[in-house]
Amino acid sequence: MKTRLPEHGPLETPQYWRTLEERLETPEAQRAAHDEFLPGAAPGTFDDVHGLPPSQSGFSRRDFLGLVSATAALAATVACDRKGQGTVVPYTRRPVEVVPGVANYYASAFQEGRRVYPVLVKTREGRPIHLTGNDEHPGVKGKTSPRTMADVLRLYDPDRLRAPKAGGRTLGWAEAESQLHAVLTGAKATGKPVLLISGAVVSPTRKALLADLKAALPTLEHLAFEPAAGDAAEEAAKASYGQAVDLQPRLAKAKVILSLGADFLNGEDPESLAAWGAKRRLKNAHEAINRLWVLEGPLTLTGTNADQRVPVAPSRLGAVAFALAKELSTKAVSLPAGADLSAIAVGVPQGVDIPAETWSNLVKDLQHAGRNAVVLCGAQMPAEVHQAAHLLNAMLGSEAVAVRAAEPLATVKDLEGAVQGMAAGHYAALIFWDVNPAYAFPRAAAWQEAVAKVPFRAWIGQVEDETAAQCQVLLPENHWLENWGDFTTEHAEVLQQPTIGTLYDTRQGEDVFLGVIRALGGHAPASYHVYLQGRWQQTLPLGTTFEQALHDGLVTSESKAATPAFKGASVAAAAQHAAASKSEGLELVLFPGFATHDGRHANNSWLQETPDPITKMTWDNPVSVSVQDAKALGIQEGDFVTLSLEGATLRLPAVIQPGQAKGVITLALGYGRTTGGVAKGVGANAYPFMGLDPTRANVRGGARLAKAGGKKDLSRTQSHHRMEGRDIVRSLTMDEFAHNPKGHYHMPELVSLYEDQTFPDHKWGMVIDLAACVGCSACVVACQSENNVPVVGPEQVARGREMHWIRIDRYYEGELENPKVVHQPMLCQHCDNAPCENVCPVNATNHSPDGLNQMAYNRCVGTRYCGNNCPYKVRRFNFLEYTAYKTEPEILVNNPEVTVRPRGVMEKCSFCVQRINDVKIRAKGDGRAILDGEVTTACMAGCPSDAIVFGDLKDPKSKVAQLVNASRAYRVLEEVGAKPAITYLADLKNPAVEGGPHAS
Amino acid sequence: MHRFDRAFRFVLPAAAVAILATVLSVGWFTQPDRFAKGYAPEQPIPFSHELHAGTLRMQCQYCHSGVDKSRHAGIPSVDLCMGCHKVTKTDRPAIQKLAQIANSGQPLPWQRVHTLPDHVFFDHRPHVNAGIACQSCHGEVQTMKVVTREMGMRMGNCLGCHRDPHAALPTGSKITKGAEHCAACHR
């Protein structure tokens, strides 16, 4: 590390670290900290510009001079000819709502598993280009998930199947459908069953359609397959409530939250994140804050935001949770009728390392909070942990979780049953609808063998996948942005509408099934649109038209269904199970990938390149090993290891994960696809490790790990952009916040040789509240979509050349075994005295009169001096041509308001200047001032916990101007005098203090 | 003769003249503005602004309706032309061609006359809303049979007006300056 400036630096700061090498101060880390670019990021020699070995890019001086003179001659010749200026093609008939150059917004919705995301789709000239949450929806309130935002890219995926196919031959819909109809008519006549496998059904109209289909084809069997939903959660719900349920946390009502491996802050659930943010954006220490307890094996994003976190192996979580219930039952929190906990001993279970003080604090917290406490369980945890969580919520009478009846999902057991049925020749036909069991079923070989015994297999989907390879007839499906649909959510019935005509000769799956119903002699309307609208017209509330519902994207309705009751009698068996549960050897936890989910997003390059919030890995799923196990096995970062479990073996790289419980290894699902231009060959497929026992399919004991020799150059963004040990992130406990919010940081008076900048009208600024930021990376994806940020691929990321304008830095503090974690979004700070501006030889980057650090791409000559001089490491250089070679359909997703940057120029966050200018011009046209909150940057609009606030610092009434003076406010590297326009508010942790207040 | 005399008297001046001539001629031939002015391509339909905007005194915004709502003024859609030409002058071959395009829905590729260099995001709205006449940049379009480019539309044209806009602004306008920072147009 470089020496900290003694008189300017903080006097006493906690030591944060980003990587293990840095923490242990290895020579490599010290060298890396000293160098500006990673080895290989900046070209070493002239010959190395392509990142190719010199022999391939050999380019002599003679060649160079020859080319230069030829270019000059060519330029002179070309300039002598008058060039055409291109053509302008107007609409023949302009749709009334379209004004070229003006965006239109439509409400629609996206479904992922059982979760529904109501969205607003921004379209330009009829092309969807950007997604945000639907602000009319009372639950999500304008927010959505990173994967939802990125899904607009999938619409323009060049790998999409463009016409029906049979036996490798492209054919028309009529012919393809007639093949399907003939088989199904035959099946109906002979009475042989037909198996339909689809995703989760949360749409009332889709449910009705399936019922109609069943009526037309009585032998139809249906399985709703969601490989990432967590079979154990499904099994536990059946035991605890007697039916499938959907648990939605209501964190606004929670004072104490106990997470048993639940990752509810991972960006998937905008509603929880909004509630979390609201409870954390404190103005002063007297405001109410919640407390998050996390007991978990892997380090999840929720765990990184915990006030108090204890690493516990998932196999022991059940015992711990039931022991908590037992302890609470001895303290006047009554057990539900019929609940029997005699199998459980009082106190911390044996073999679990929870300090007595922590345990008693946790018990007290839950007891005092009562109805305002909630226990949440991770979907992948064993069934008994779920049941313990259900029990605890029932005991506490928790109001902070809504239990709703849901449509059941097929577990791995149901799939196994289907495989046996197929193998036995039970089925006449198989229809796969937007599912990929050939990839996601654990026993892939058995699956393939069984499927081959079914005489007819049809596939409905978007991109040919592993399952499509086993089918005779492939029917291309619309992207959801081309579809009609509807969904039931807790607060509203949500509509999905097409925002673009179909790009290719595709149809929506429902239309195929309507065709089947007609072919089988049933009665069905001509299209799903008519079918859906007909049903909606009957149920619309008085005074609401279908057009109004489409405009809003929803009709609000409170769920009428009765809350399923908890069955106390289910407790005894689960408690016995939990008490007996032991982990043997290493325990493998399989969880859905942050980027890929169950594998369906694997072909999305935006998501593949978004760094995992914890490991900061891109384009891969290495196995995460705890610090203790890595030491015992002699594994180092990036070492190839062999992971084996019951016959399944994988060779894959390992990363060492601080905070992960000893004996636990984790691996993300959704990688290792064998099809798709982006997805193919990225990472390894973890599904073969999934268990066939649905109660613990994702947590597998007895895994073996061994070094396999060799090391992988990890495409990891973590070790780049290091911060040289300065006081970059600040984290306060509530006690410190109450008594000494500025901490022990000493700020010297800043003297500048330059004249102060003046800002006549506006001074744009931003405040980022680290207490509300959970690190979910929604801002990263929102920025990528808004600003045409290119994807560079794994090799370039490994060289430190990723292009994201905003990144999330993740800092660890304290013990390797259970560190505290702080996430910090880092983007261009738009400094008043910007160090990058002074050094640009061509004045391509300079300051605007409204406080923006502007970047003129056409002036930039690519010296990279600015990037070198930026203390925040937020400038990005286009080392290669990343975008310009692209063609349709990929370029259709670009935002036409932002330049697509060519090779050789610097770029960086612009504070979404295109949005600022647009609002300015509109306000000027209306003859009014800009309103506070009218200008939103993409990251701010995308942030589900509202941690980012943007506005005009010159307006004293603006939200941002008030926040910059908050007691938690600080600016990063303030002491260097760059005067950044971004203010951070220190992170807050609310740990239980002995003798301190317990939430009540 | 000193052995360098020849070099100083002939070779050096000749070389200097040759270099200067090369620089000037390459500069002249490659200057971007050279062919910008006076560019008047033939259009697929011989539309006359002189007739429509001049003689018939139609407002520019009747056809270029996006100009105060959008960055782009917009080229009118074919059905807008047909609003009148369903009944007007249907005997002219150009109008028959137009009608055929309107009915068939084929694209009508107008030749672009006014273009801006790359990386420029010009916005019509603030200019039109400030009362600047279209003619300030596009020339006296109402007198043009064939639209001809009268301004090079280089950054110098923009900045000249932004630094001293009073000639282009209507009398009584309170605006004294236009934006001069990069991000106003480049982003």
A674 confidence band (pLDDT: 50, 70, 90) = very high
- Does residue A48 carry a pLDDT above 60? no
- Distance (Å, whole) CA A292 – CA A276: 10
The nearest alpha carbon in chain B to A87 belongs to B111
Cβ burial, residue B78 (10 Å; 0-12/13-18/19+): buried
Backbone angles phi, psi at B114, to 5 degrees: -105, 120
Query: Which of A80, A849, A913 is the closest to B187 by Cβ?
Result: A913
The yes-or-no verdict on residue A699 having pLDDT over 60 is yes
Share of chain A above pLDDT 90, in %: 76
Q: Mean pLDDT throughout A18-38? A: 63
| pLDDT per residue as tens digits for the range A722-731 | 456 677 889 9
**Mean pLDDT, residues A673-688 taken together:** 94
pLDDT digits (tens, 9 = 90+) for A147-188: 999 999 999 999 999 999 998 899 999 999 999 999 999 999
The answer to whether the Cβ–Cβ distance between B186 and A858 falls below 8 Å is: yes
Confidence of residue A84 (pLDDT cuts 50, 70, 90): low
What is the chain B residue with the closest CA to A912?
B187
Does the distance separating the beta carbons of A76 and B30 come in below 8 Å? yes
pLDDT at site A251: 94
Average pLDDT, chain B: 91
Report residue A75's pLDDT band, with 50, 70 and 90 as the boundaries: low
Please give the average per-residue pLDDT across A16-33, as a whole number. Answer: 65
Position A746 scores a pLDDT of 73
3-state secondary structure A952-998: ECCCCCCHHHHHCCCCCEECCCHHHCCCCCEEEECEEECCCCCCCCC
Q: Taking the CB of residue B73, how many other CB atoms lie within 10 A of it? A: 23
Q: Are residues A100 and B78, on separate chains, in Cβ contact within 8 Å?
A: no
Q: Give whole-number Cα distances, B111 to A657, A829, B75, in Å.
A: 61, 43, 11
Q: Do B105 and A79 touch (CB under 8 A)?
A: no
Least CB–CB distance from A90: residue in B41, B77, B118: B77
Average pLDDT, chain A: 89
pLDDT tops 70 at residue A3? no
Q: Concatenate the DSSP letters of all residues of A170-219 into one string.
A: E--HHHHHHHHHHHHHHHHHHT--EEEEES----HHHHHHHHHHHHHSTT
With beta carbons under 8 A apart, name residues in chain B contacting A75.
Answer: 26, 30
pLDDT score of B35? 65
φ, ψ for residue A782, nearest 5 deg: -60, -40
Identity of the residue in A85, A100, A924 whose CB atom sits nearest the CB atom of B126: A924
Nearest by CB: A94 against B79, B114, B183: B79
For A133, the 3-state DSSP assignment is strand
* pLDDT tens per residue across span A192-233: 999 999 999 999 999 999 999 999 999 999 999 999 999 999
Residues of A with Cβ-Cβ distance to B121 under 8 angstroms: 897, 914, 917
A8: confidence class by pLDDT, cuts 50, 70, 90 = very low
pTM assigned to the model: 0.90
Cα–Cα distance list, A884 to A151, A788, A868, A888, A894 (Å): 22, 11, 26, 11, 11
How much of chain A is helix, strand and coil, in % rounded to 5? Answer: 30, 20, 50
Instruction: Give the Å distances, CA to CA, from A708 to A625, A630, A682.
Output: 15, 14, 19
Give the per-residue pLDDT at A10: 42
Stretch A788-813: mean pLDDT: 93
ipTM above 0.85, yes or no: yes
Interchain CB distance below 8 Å, B70 and A898: no
Strand extents, DSSP E, A697-855: 699-711, 731-733, 764-769, 807-813, 820-826, 845-847, 853-855
CB neighbour list of residue A981: distance below 8 Å, 6 or more residues apart? A763, A764, A765, A766, A829, A830, A831, A832, A851, A953
- Taking CA atoms, what residue in A is nearest to B175? A924
What pLDDT does residue A21 have? 64
Closest among A220, A237, A268 to A433, alpha carbons compared: A220
Q: Among A526-535, A623-632, A735-744, A958-967, which is the least confidently predicted range?
A: A735-744
Identify the pLDDT of residue A723. Answer: 53
- The pLDDT score that the predictor gives to residue A27 is 65
The torsion angles phi and psi of A261, rounded to 5 degrees, stand at 70, 15
Task: Say if residue A81's pLDDT is above 70.
Answer: no
Span A122-137, pLDDT tens digits: 999 999 999 999 999 9
Q: What is the pLDDT of residue A726?
A: 73
Residues of chain B in contact with residue A914, where contact means CB-CB under 8 angstroms, are: 121, 187
Please tell me the distance in Å from B80's CA to the nearest CA on chain A. Answer: 8
Give chain A's end-to-end CA distance (angstroms, integer).
45
> Beta partners for A429?
A194, A456
Q: Do A87 and B110 touch (CB under 8 A)?
A: yes
B41–A93 CB contact, under 8 Å? no
Residue with tokens 């020496």: A3
CA separation for the pair A820, A441 (Å, rounded): 37
